Amino acid sequence: MTGGRGSRSGAPGVVAPVPGEPALRLSEPGRPATVLVADLHLGLGGVPDRPAGPPEASAAALAERLVRVLRTAGAERLVIAGDVKHPIVGTPRALRPVVFDFFGRLLEEGFDVDVVLGNHDVGLAPALPREVVVHPPTGLVLGGVGIFHGHRWPSNAVLRCATVVAGHLHPGFRLAPSPEDPSGKRPCWVRVRREPAARPPRRRRSHAPLAAREVVILPPFNPLAGIEALNRERPARGRSFLVARFLAGGEARAYLLDGTDLGPIPTGPAVPTSRAAARSTRGR
């Protein structure tokens, strides 16, 4: 079930957000559109008698939402850029039919579905319908756009793309709290315009340099997934390399799902705390 549909030749594709949704529309000349999403985390908040999760983030609710997004975008294909399920290792027995039925709903509507494996997707493949095409964590290239999850280095083919799309970071922005939104955290897009990195000497190069002029980080599709407020806090360990290695090469800007430009977000080194600073300067 690995491999299958991958790179497509021809003019490079163009990605644009689906208005109001944490989803990208990938359009290619002369081809049906594709929708890209990430971080579904099926089973998040699930309990033994309700493995699919709370109603607003249940697998059935997420499937119906995706069907609407795909129809709105006029798309025939869905690519999930990692973290289909929430349990990190393995797929619990009670969650397996939930995952199968989720994809069955999309397939019965006639959509092609691809999955790029994320860090939460260990043991996912056996729970999927055979029609779902699974790609390794190193990603895939579709219409000249590189797609990977973001927890490990992508393939050289992805690194050489002019546009790279990832998930994993769960990007958000902290705004002023309100009665409707006490935390003030809002999911957001991150978009980076960058200059390609200089090619390192061959003897030191273990992978291709990042050639992308644009990097886009998808917000999590699951509305209950945790959010990193990138304007107020450093990303959690395990997500920080995306910022350091993929976002820091240009100006990273945050956008709400309605398209509101929130301005630049910091991508430089974290400012050390006084205790950490004391440790780093000790013995100098």
Quick one: which of 82, 11, 95, 91 has its CA closest to 53? 95
Considering the entire predicted model, what is its pTM?
0.87
CA distances from 252 to 6, 121, 137 (A): 28, 28, 24
What is the enclosing helix (H) or strand (E) of 37?
Answer: strand 33-37
- Phi/psi of residue 134, nearest 5 degrees: -105, 135
pLDDT digits (tens, 9 = 90+) for 247-283: 888 889 999 999 999 999 887 654 443 333 333 333 3
- Rounded CA gap, 216 and 214, in Å? 7
Q: Where are the alpha helices (H) located in 74-185, listed in sequence order?
A: 96-108, 156-159
User: Any idea where the domains of the chain sit in the sequence?
Assistant: 14-281
| Tens digit of pLDDT at every position of the chain (284 positions) | 445 566 565 567 899 999 999 999 999 988 999 999 999 999 997 766 677 777 788 999 999 999 999 999 999 999 999 999 998 888 888 899 999 999 999 999 999 999 999 999 999 999 999 999 999 999 999 999 999 999 999 999 999 999 999 999 999 998 887 777 767 789 999 999 987 665 655 555 678 888 999 999 999 999 999 888 888 766 666 567 788 888 888 889 999 999 999 999 887 654 443 333 333 333 33
pLDDT at 13: 87
Predicted pLDDT of residue 164: 97
- Report d(CA 81, CA 83) in Å as an integer: 7
CA–CA distance, 223 with 39 (Å, rounded to integer): 10
Q: Which two tokens stand for residue 35?
A: 């929708």
pLDDT score at 205: 60
| Distance, CA of 206 to CA of 191 (rounded, Å) | 26
